[in-house]
Structure 1
Amino acid sequence: MDQQHSSENESSFTPYPQAEREASYDLKHSGPGIASFIVNLIVFIGYIAGMSSAFAAFGRLDEHVNRSTEELYNLVADQQYFVIGVIVIIISFFLNLVGMILAIIGLALKHRKKRFAVIGFVVGLLPIALLIILTAIGYAVRGA
């Protein structure tokens, strides 16, 4: 009788219910979460490319002071790099907003893994946080 009683206790008690364990492995990744991760990675690369282009144009301005007409055409070309850089930054900003919206949708979906949505949200917040910090530093320096 002890063997029958002990086998009933072992089978009726499981430290982690089997149904919950199987359900946690069957979850799919959230589609909007993956999309937000990819979009925000592209945005991050876009910000770097735009800033590099704009800063490269500023770095070449000193080379063209008191130069010939031919070199002034090079100055105009450098300004085109600046304009392209600014346009890329503006496009990246709007794509950043799209990525953040996708991340929020990915986080709101039930019965889906949220790993990529969280990573996409964090990667999307980095440029926005950096923009806020740099704006605060700019106002502090300007006010000083």
Structure 2
Amino acid sequence: MNDYSPPQEEQVLYEEKPRDFKHSGPGIASFVIALITLAGYIIAFVVVGANASSVTGGSDSFITNSAESIFYLGMSVLVLAAVNVIGAVIGIVGLTLRKRRRVFAVIGTIINGVILLLFMVMIATVLINAGSA
């Protein structure tokens, strides 16, 4: 007795376009900075290690060369740590961008963060050992 039927709407199927987001520029920059600083740390420790082990003389040249090596190692570690801070900040900026892939931003931020954490642990260890001596 009720012949009412709701009006039938035409079903319009929209083509779903695949979301092909670009990688975030700051994320890629953070990842590249992380790789460059990792290579810098490796090179610094290898060069200083080779320089310190090649000095075999028992004279004052040993003290001069080892002090110079330690100075260059310290300066390179400080500069690379500052670059890691910049890389971590750029990685965080890359994480906040919308409609961009965040893969490189995540990887770059994690690597820069781990390196900074290791740097802080190294500084804390040196300070603890200096206080006990």
Pair 1:77-2:65 in alignment: yes
Q: Give the match for residue 31 of structure 1.
A: 25
In 2, Cα distance between equivalents of 1:57 and 1:44: 20
Alpha-carbon RMSD across the aligned residues, in angstroms, is 3.1
Number of aligned positions between the proteins: 121
Shift of 1:102: 0.9
In 2, Cα distance between equivalents of 1:140 and 1:64: 28
Output the TM-score relative to the length of structure 2.
Answer: 0.71
In 2, Cα distance between equivalents of 1:80 and 1:140: 22
Whether contact under 8 Å (2:85, 2:116) holds in the other structure is: no
Shift of 1:28: 0.2
Q: Give the match for residue 83 of structure 2.
A: 95
Q: 1:93 to 1:59 in 2, by over 3 A?
A: same
Whether contact under 8 Å (2:26, 2:93) holds in the other structure is: yes
Pair 1:116-2:101 in alignment: no
Whether contact under 8 Å (1:33, 1:107) holds in the other structure is: yes
* Structure 1: gaps (5+ residues): 1-11
Whether contact under 8 Å (2:52, 2:69) holds in the other structure is: no
Whether contact under 8 Å (1:50, 1:86) holds in the other structure is: no
Whether contact under 8 Å (2:52, 2:65) holds in the other structure is: no
After the TM superposition, which segments of 4 or more aligned residues of structure 1 sit over 3 Å from their partners? Answer: 51-61, 132-138, 140-143
Q: Give the 3-state SS of the residue equivalent to 1:91 in structure 2.
A: helix
Q: Give the match for residue 6 of structure 1.
A: none
118-127 vs 77-86, greater mean Cα deviation: 77-86
Shift of 1:64: 3.9
Q: Give the 3-state SS of the residue equivalent to 1:110 in structure 2.
A: coil
In 1, Cα distance between equivalents of 2:123 and 2:94: 30
Structure number with the higher helix fraction is 1
* Structure 2: gaps (5+ residues): 1-10
Shift of 1:135: 4.3
Whether contact under 8 Å (1:52, 1:85) holds in the other structure is: no
In 2, Cα distance between equivalents of 1:34 and 1:111: 15
